[in-house]
Amino acid sequence: MLAFEWILSFLLLGACVGFVAGLLGVGGGGILVPILTSIFLLQDVPVDKVVHLALGTSMACIIITSFSSLRAHNKKGAVIWKIVKTMSFGIIVGTFISTFIASYLNSFYLAIFFSLFMGVMAINMLKHKEEQKSVCNFEDGNVFVSSTGIGAISALVSIGGGSLTVPYLVKHNVDIKKAIGTSAAIGLPISLAGTLGYLVNGWNNDLAINYSVGFIYLPAAVLISITSFFTAPYGVKAAHYLPVQVLRKIFAFLLILLSVKMLLSVI
């Protein structure tokens, strides 16, 4: 039986992640992975596999939130389905293959990669500027390579790909609002392929923790998904009233602190 304090922790974590995702338009991996790593260490998960379990569980959580976000953006006509179809194959291939690579890496190296990536993401968030372009020119022979790269990195740090997909689409002259909506749709195949990959690659690992399947801890995935689904809309509403640019800076520093904490935890 799962202890009450862990149930409460996962519910609160999901509520926090959902609200922040709705407020700032970012994925929850930056918060989920470091905190889940700390929780799993307290539950005596082996250090050499703890980051794998955090990445897989976080990826499973993204399925529900990405689907919810996809529906909301699609209702506003902000999803360019042609681009989603064009990029999805590369995204799925890159994400799934990357989980095989991750399964062979030690948690320490995964933590280093995660921390460096989140550091770059935080810096970009600190100097964030809105761009607005109106002419769509998505004709690029390297779309498959770029999509595969986005999927691969997304699996290694357990994100829905928004921090990579949105700049990529904007660079191709896609309107920023439609870039965000299309990125939300692309987050679904990323999360599905990533979850399947971490499930397959962790199948034969003895993690010494009940209720885990592969590199996915089911109680955390379910409980976090439930509360994040309900709190994300409140984050969206709050974005209209709170100083989002100031909050982005605070969140950027939080990403750095959490990443450093995770790195120190596995050393």
- Is 76 inside any structural domain? yes
- Is 116 inside any structural domain? yes
Res. 100 pLDDT band, cuts 50 70 90:
very high
pLDDT, tens only, 192-214: 999 999 999 998 887 778 889 99
- Is 1 inside any structural domain? no
- Is 243 inside any structural domain? yes
- Is 56 inside any structural domain? yes
- Is 196 inside any structural domain? yes
Mean pLDDT of the region 29-33: 85
Percent of the chain with pLDDT over 70: 92
- Is 4 inside any structural domain? no
Show the domain range for 28: 9-266
Q: What total of structural domains would you count in the chain?
A: 1
Mean pLDDT of the region 143-150: 91
Res. 140 pLDDT band, cuts 50 70 90:
low
Burial letters 89-111, b for 16+ CB under 10 A, else e: ebbbbbbbbbbeebbebebeebb
Give the residue with greater pLDDT, 19 vs 40: 40
Mean pLDDT of the region 106-110: 90
Cβ neighbours for 27, distance < 8 A, ≥ 6 positions apart: 21, 62, 65, 159, 160, 161, 162, 163, 187
